[in-house]
Amino acid sequence: MKYLCLVYPGEDFVPRPEDAPDFAAVHRAMTEAGVYLDSGALQPSSATTTVTLRDGDTLLTDGPFAEIKEQVGGYFLLDCADLDEAVRWAATIPTIRSGGASIEIRPLVEFGGRG
């Protein structure tokens, strides 16, 4: 099953260059275990543009669709056997160690034909 791990770094999180080797190690471990599909870090929510459709015209708004305190800072897309495995890998993402951080594990809908 595919799981999208949404990383909420917490309000006080500041990315530090010295954490880079930790991320690289987790990346490597996930790849070697065959669970890694993709990951990414998001620009701050101030860089967001929201697009909607009104009467056939696209309408752009500066900023996120919903203003909430907790913002997604990044994600890992993993392919795991079950939730237990996804939880184990999510707990290794280095950001989780910063105060107030949390990781939301969202299972993806599996469409037919892929077995």
Residues near other proteins (CB under 8 A) are 1, 3, 80-84, 86-87, 105, 107, 109-112, 115
Nearest approach in angstroms of CB 80 to other proteins is 8
Complex with other proteins: residue 11 or 110, whichever CB lies closer: 110
Complex with other proteins: residue 70 or 110, whichever CB lies closer: 110
Task: Tell which residue, 25, 27, 17, 5, has the closest CA to residue 73.
Answer: 5
Complex with other proteins: residue 44 or 113, whichever CB lies closer: 113
Contact (CB, 8 A) for 58 and 64: no
* Alpha-carbon gap, residue 114 to 100, rounded angstroms: 38
